[in-house]
Amino acid sequence: MASDLDKRLQSAVVERDRLAAETQRIAGRKQAADESLEVVKSEIRGKNLDPDSLDETIERLELAYSDAVIKFEADVKAARNALTPYLETTNS
């Protein structure tokens, strides 16, 4: 009976040590990830943007970009319409 308990104890100690080492490894990876995150946030702040509202900033910029493309397309169409009479006379 004692031999069985000794084996179970030894197995539990090995598992505990393995888990402790895994915990340390995970903590190291988390620390590295946190440091990387701070570097990225610092770069974002360096561009005068708020990293905590980056999603809203991206949405606002995408909307502004879409509006600019729509306006540009309308301007090109207006220019084409304005030039059409002259283009038709030169192609004749």
pLDDT tens sequence across 64-77: 999 999 999 999 99
Whole-model pTM: value is: 0.58
The CA distance from 10 to 4, in Å, is 10
pLDDT of residue 92: 56
Place of tokens 């991206």: 58
Please report how many Cα atoms fall inside a 13 Å half-sphere around the Cα of residue 88, on the Cβ side.
6
36-57 pLDDT, tens digit each: 999 999 999 999 999 999 999 9
Domain ranges of the chain: 1-48, 51-92
